Amino acid sequence: MNRCEWAGSDPLYVAYHDAEWGVPLRDGRALFELLILEGAQAGLAWITILRKREGYRRAFDGFDPTRVAAYDDADVARLLADPGIVRNRAKVNGAIGNARAWLRLAEERSPAEHLWSFVGGAPIRNRWTRLSDIPAQTDASRDLSRDLRARGFRFIGPTLAYAFMQSAGLVNDHVVGCFRHAELAAG
């Protein structure tokens, strides 16, 4: 079975590639989770975050943005002591700040609808033939990053914004030889 080469052979990575990466997410909670996890990944390999994802779900109350937005200094201390997550103060504070920014955005409109508006509401279906063809950022990811940062989000530069867009299925960046490219393009 042909896959994107980045999936490698780690069973966790392969399962993520085959079942999750690039699948269009419209659920607000799932999008919020992914946004926080992408921020946690900054400077690290995504496999590190995948291995800690269940720890994040437990530590961050199932990624309930209302609960995370209410975290205080005691919660920050609890999170920084939790080996189940990346214990980086800036990233922990960024996740809490992003929950607050998420709730402010939700007062205006559905965060899911807002995120999807950067691709016109439907996935961009790219046709890359090699991993090296895939850009690290695009005009859409720069626009998304600029918008979210203006709204108070952190750890969401243009490159992380594009990784988020790929993961959340806003773009289909499976290479054309990968079995998932055609499956997602048909759906």
Average pLDDT over residues 168-174: 98
Residue 144's closest CA among 170, 173, 106? 170
Domains of the chain: 5-186 (1.10.340.30)
What burial class does residue 11 get, using C-beta atoms within 10 Å of its C-beta: 0-12 exposed, 13-18 middle, 19+ buried?
exposed
Across 131-143, average pLDDT = 97
Alpha carbon 184 to chain centroid, angstroms = 18
5 is catalytic: no
Query: Which residue is catalytic, options 13, 38, 128, 162?
Result: 38
pLDDT band at 56 (very low <50, low <70, confident <90, very high): very high
71 is catalytic: no
Closest CA to 172 of 12, 1, 2, 4: 4
Respond yes or no: is residue 56 known to be catalytic. no
Question: Residue 159: what pLDDT?
Answer: 97
pLDDT in tens, 73-100: 999 999 999 999 999 999 999 999 999 9
Chain mean pLDDT for the chain: 97
The mean per-residue pLDDT over the stretch 24-34 comes to 98
Q: What pLDDT is attached to residue 187?
A: 76
